[in-house]
A and B are shown apart, each in its own frame.
Chain A
Amino acid sequence: MSEILKVDGLVKRYKELIALDHFSMSVNEGEIFGLLGPNGSGKSTCINCVLSLLEYDKGTITIFGKEMSPKAYDIKSKIGIVPQEVAVYEALTVYENIDFFCGLYIKDKATRAKYVQEAIDFVALNDFVKFKPKKLSGGLKRRLNIACGIAHKPKLIFFDEPTVAVDPQSRNKILEGIEQLRAQGATIVYTSHYMEEVEQLCDRVLIIDKGTTIAEGTIDQLKSMIKKSEIITIETAGLDENTIAAIKDLPSVYSADYDGHVLKVEAGSGKHNVIDIVNILQDKGYKMKKIFSEQPTLNDVFLELTGKSLRDE
């Protein structure tokens, strides 16, 4: 797979604040690349620098093998952007909005009409083409936002949190659409706060925090980077302190919380974590109702790598 986007040593400062600190990333052709990070971590700054909308202090950005610049119109013509905010004109109808933004890229009227219709079909807005955006629900607006970004059939598409504030049905439709775009040959850069979406969609993920890369790789590679590899939940009553201490003493266990009914144990990579804990409980004569074991999610990976403290915008 060839490299379609390469960012190398990007530095962006806002006065004293360093938004991007020698940040690097690369995206391969045909993949869905997830860019994750807490609020203010530098995701949007990174995308805006890549798109040549933001000035940066240092670094190089190469797209389709050419250096990106504001005047690189040949590169821009192959890029689509679906911004976080719905960026459409309230005065124009659904059809007019898509036609307007497609027209910025496609000058031939016949081709444009075909592309616009395909985009409308793609986001399933056929029944709303004459509606003004203010008449659309949140989910439909999001779909319009997507149609405006992809109507010109770009090869590289940036989705910046496209599913914020949409209902599950619309979200599902959007995610299916993104898969479909990839199947049609587009390369996707996807940012979201919804970990399950990223886990479902992305081939590779980069976690960014404070302007630097925290981790990068496939979902499995990321999961293997954290201490926690298994979460064991056991419903049991009346555990004493000694029993809990005995569980905590197991070599692969690094935390055990008990609320009087449910024991939750976080364990590292060990072959017999569940058996070891169950043996302790059985030895002490405790009865167990439910026992289950879960693998860590991307959310666990994200929280462990970026910390649990609250972040501001």
Chain B
Amino acid sequence: MFKYYLLKVLRNKIYLFWCLVFPLGIMACMNAAFGNIYNIENSIDPVKTIVVAESDSAYAEGFCDLVDEFADESAETKYFDMVEADGRKDAMEILKDGGAEVLFVAGDSDIEVCLSESHTETAGMVAKTVADTYRSNFKLISEAYMTSPEKAQEMIENLASRKTFTEVDMGAFSDDPNPYVWYFYSTLVMGLFFTAMSGVNLVGDLKADVSEEAARLSLSPSSKSKMIWYAFIARLIPSVIISVIHLAFMRLVFQISLGSNVFRLILFVVVCNIFAISFGVICGLLFKGSVNTRGNKTTGVLMVSVFLSGEMVMQLPGIIEKYCPIVNDINPATVMNMAFYRMALYNDPFDFYMNMGKLVIAAVVFLTIGVLVLRREKYASV
């Protein structure tokens, strides 16, 4: 029996298109359109850089330490290749000869940035970003010291662990996500969430007042509970495989970072698929009409959910978080998106497990209701 439940799912072309092919197509299009930009961002060649400290101040010292950090061979991202110079004049000569692209001159309270004539755009961008970030961070910390030394210390610690400086906790939406990666993750979640359609079909297969085939099953002596679990697992297995295919394409073909924790990745895929199918079951039970009607209505719900999660407008979850955070908390696509984003990019287990917990609780509730309703064998009308 299980074999046929599985065959039915695997031969469902609409399901395979929306859950497997469509997300892969979107990913391929995104890769074709924006892949090069992303690759440039992620493969910056170290810029030949000179730092001249014209002061012994904490300001100048701090900046020299920061540049050294970015020049460290063992650092995850090495932006600078340091070039030695004996004072500003010597440095200017080297810059002129093309021995370096960037010169930082650290003074008492400011950073002067000089670029060689032949500097690349990337070198200019990196130099400007580092200098600007240092200026603003130093200012913030100095002001904090004046008002609250403890707060300033906390900010320095946060800076060391590369956390944000925002005083108001914006939760999961405080970081500015990398748009390219974000859209890949959103597309993965979209494909995963579309699995809900197979949950709607499960209702059509087993609820005797929805389809004639289901009525036929209800009239047989086979256990309804067993049929429900067969049908559920026959949907879960292909869905998980599809998600793994998506992840494999993301990592191996599109070179998208998926984080380093395989256990969490597997947990994410399994939990989200279980949730998506159970969500489809609930939609299939709540909506009235034929299986197609129920499916169409569910598609509408999925589309809205995916849209609100930022699939098309990346900033949308942040805006929602500001004005109506409850929507983000109850929107399944956002919860899945954020869980994946935090897990893969920030290695943030607390946020990840919080979101997984929400999905597990919802899936348990949905499945319990679904099983109780679907195992019914007698109806008020058929």
In Å, the complex CA distance between A48 and B377 comes to 12
**B323 in the interface, Cβ–Cβ < 8 Å?**
no
| Shortest distance from the beta carbon of B381 to any chain A beta carbon, whole Å | 6
Q: A75-83, A163-171, A187-195: which one contacts chain B?
A: A75-83
Task: Provide the A53-83 mask, 1 if CB < 8 A to any CB of B, else 0.
Answer: 1110000000000000011011011010101
Interface segment among A88-96, A202-210, A231-239: the answer is A88-96
Q: Chain B, 182-220, contact with A by CB distance < 8 Å: what is the 0/1 string?
A: 000000000000000000000000001001110111111
- Other-chain residue from A70, A74, A92, A101 in contact with B216 (beta carbon distance below 8 A): A101
Are A91 and B380 in contact, with the CB atoms below 8 A? no
Q: In the complex, are the beta carbons of A81 and B12 less than 8 A apart?
A: no
Q: Tell me if B221 and A73 are in contact (CB < 8 A).
A: yes
Tell yes or no: A138 within 8 A of B by CB.
no
Inter-chain contacts of B208 with A (CB < 8 A) = 53
A92 partner, pick from B7, B211, B212, B379, beta carbons under 8 A: B7
A74 to B220, CA, bound (A): 10
Question: Which residues of chain A (143-175) have a CB below 8 Å from chain B?
Answer: 148-149
**Does B378 make an interface contact (CB < 8 A)?**
yes
Whether A87 and B7, one on each chain, are in contact in the complex, defined by CB atoms closer than 8 angstroms, is no
A52 and B11 contact, CB distance less than 8 A: no
- Residue on B nearest A83 in the bound complex, by CB: B212
Contact A53 B215 (CB under 8 A): yes
Q: Whose C-beta in chain B lies nearest to the C-beta of A82?
A: B216
Complex contacts, A48 vs chain B, CB 8 Å: 382
In angstroms, how far is the closest chain A Cβ from the Cβ of B82? 65
B interface, over-half SS: loop
Residues of A within 8 A of B382 (CB): 48, 53-54
Q: How far is the CA of A53 from the CA of B218 in the complex (A)?
A: 7
Interface residue tally on B, bucketed by range: 20 to 34
Given A53-B382, A83-B212, A87-B213, does the pair A105, B221 have CB atoms closer than 8 Å? yes
Quick one: which of B345-382 are within 8 Å of A by CB?
Answer: 377-382
List the B side residues contacting A96 at CB < 8 Å: 4, 7
A87 to B208, CA, bound (A): 11
Give the complex CA separation of A99 and B218 in angstroms.
17
Q: Is A292 an interface residue (CB 8 A)?
A: no
One of B8, B211, B378 near A54 (C-beta < 8 A): B378
A246 to B12, CA, bound (A): 72
CB contacts (< 8 Å) of A148 on chain B: these are: 216
For the complex, give the distance between the alpha carbons of A77 and B11 in Å: 29
Q: State in angstroms the CA–CA spacing of A105 and B222 once bound together.
A: 7
Asked if A53 and B8 sit within 8 Å, CB to CB, the answer is: no
Cα–Cα distance between A149 and B211 once the two chains are bound (Å)? 16
From the candidates B4, B11, B12, B211, name the one contacting A100 in the complex (CB within 8 A): B4
Is A51 at the interface (CB under 8 A from chain B)? yes
- Chain B stretch 216-245: residues in CB contact (< 8 A) with chain A: 216-222
Q: Which of A53, A54, A92 contacts B4 (CB 8 A)?
A: A92
Whether a CB of chain B sits under 8 angstroms from the CB of A104 is: yes
Q: In the complex, what's the smallest C-beta–C-beta distance from B19 to chain A, in angstroms?
A: 15
Question: What chain A residues lie within 8 Å of B211 (beta carbons)?
Answer: 87
Any B CB within 8 A of the CB of A85: yes
A133 to nearest B CB, angstroms? 11
Contact between A53 and B378, CB atoms less than 8 A apart = yes
The reply to whether A54 and B221 form a contact with Cβ atoms under 8 Å apart is no
How far does the alpha carbon of A55 sit from the alpha carbon of B381 in the complex, in Å?
8
Report Cα–Cα, A276/B208, bound state, in Å: 60
Q: Say yes or no for A103: interface residue by CB 8 A criterion.
A: yes
Q: B1 interface residue, CB < 8 Å from A? A: yes
Task: Determine whether the beta carbon of A104 is less than 8 Å from that of B220.
Answer: yes
A48–B378 Cα gap in the complex (Å)?
A: 9
Chain A residues near B219 (CB-CB < 8 A): 51-53, 76, 79, 81
- Inter-chain contact A76/B380, CB cutoff 8 Å: no
Given A85-B212, A91-B11, the answer on whether A76 and B379 have CB atoms closer than 8 Å is: no
Minimum CB distance partner of B221 in chain A: A73
Given contacts A53-B379, A103-B1, 8 further A-B pairs with CB under 8 A are: A52-B378, A53-B218, A76-B221, A86-B212, A87-B213, A87-B216, A92-B7, A149-B216
Sample of 8 A–B contacts (CB below 8 Å): A53-B219, A53-B382, A54-B378, A54-B380, A79-B219, A92-B4, A92-B8, A104-B220
